[in-house]
């Protein structure tokens, strides 16, 4: 199986980067693409316990796709849910756009 930590780091980079480049006012097609993507992602992510948890999270809180801000905030909260479970510090979601859109050093 893939390295769960390295896979996770790369995947969060991809997911937050998708949120950061998502339009502020997405079209119906873009909203449906994003919803389809996260749904398939939750089924295909090759860390099965991670994928199960992510699907359970989506069942509790459906991903909002009406704007970059809403989706990015949701994704940040989803990542914090994992951080909490793993005993990692929570990330301040007021800063996710700085981290993933404007960029800062990690
Ligand atoms: P990561 O958590 O990978 O974060 C990478 C960078 O993202 C951080 O350095 C920080 O700059 C930034 N960041 C941190 N938190 C946030 C946030 N809330 N919002 C925005 N940016 C943030 N591992 C398991 O062992 N068990 C699991 O059940 C599990 N579930 C996962 C589910 C998903 C959907 C994904 C993508 C990964 C999962 N992982 C899981 C992997 C885990 O989340 C980490 O990726 C891995 O432990 C490496 O952690 P890290 O400390 O390098 O930073």
Per-residue pLDDT tens for 6-62?
999 999 999 999 999 999 999 999 999 999 999 999 999 999 999 999 999 999 999
Q: Which atom of ligand 1 is nearest to the CA of 93?
A: 19
Q: Ligand 1 mean position to 31 CA, how many Å?
A: 24
Of 12, 45, 73, 100, the one to substitute when testing ligand 1's pocket (max ligand atoms within 8 A of C-beta) is 12
89 touches 79 (CB < 8 A): no
- The reported pTM is 0.96
Give distance in angstroms: CA of 91 to centre of ligand 1: 10
Kindly report the protein residue whose alpha carbon is nearest to atom 45 of ligand 1: 8
Question: What separation in Å is there between the alpha carbon of 24 and the centre of ligand 1?
Answer: 25
HEC sequence for the chain: CCCHHHHHHHHHHHHHHHHHHCCCCCCHHHHHHHHHHHHHHHHHCCCHHHHHHHHHHHHHCCCCCCCHHHHHHHHHHHHHHHHHHCCCCCCCHHHHHHHHHHHCCC
Q: What is the mean pLDDT of residues 51-78?
A: 97
Ligand 1 atom closest to the Cα of residue 9 is 3
ipTM given for this complex? 0.99
Q: How far, in Å, CA of 28 to CA of 15, rounded?
A: 20
- Report pLDDT for 101: 87
Which protein residue's CA is at the shortest distance from atom 39 of ligand 1? 8
CB 48 within 8 A of CB 2: no
Higher pLDDT, 105 or 89: 89
Task: Tell me what pLDDT residue 40 has.
Answer: 97
Per-residue confidence (pLDDT) for residue 69, from 0 to 100: 97
């Amino acid at each position: 199986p893939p390295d769960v930590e390295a896979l996770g780091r790369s995947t969060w980079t991809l997911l937050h980067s998708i949120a950061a480049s998502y339009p502020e006012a997405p079209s119906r097609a873009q909203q449906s693409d994003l919803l389809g993507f996260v749904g398939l992602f939750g089924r295909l992510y090759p860390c099965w316990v991670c994928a199960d948890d992510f699907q359970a999270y989506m069942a509790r809180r459906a991903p909002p796709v009406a704007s970059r801000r809403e989706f990015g905030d949701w994704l940040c909260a989803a990542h914090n849910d994992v951080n909490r479970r793993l005993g990692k510090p929570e990330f301040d979601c007021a800063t996710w756009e700085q981290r993933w859109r404007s960029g800062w050093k990690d």
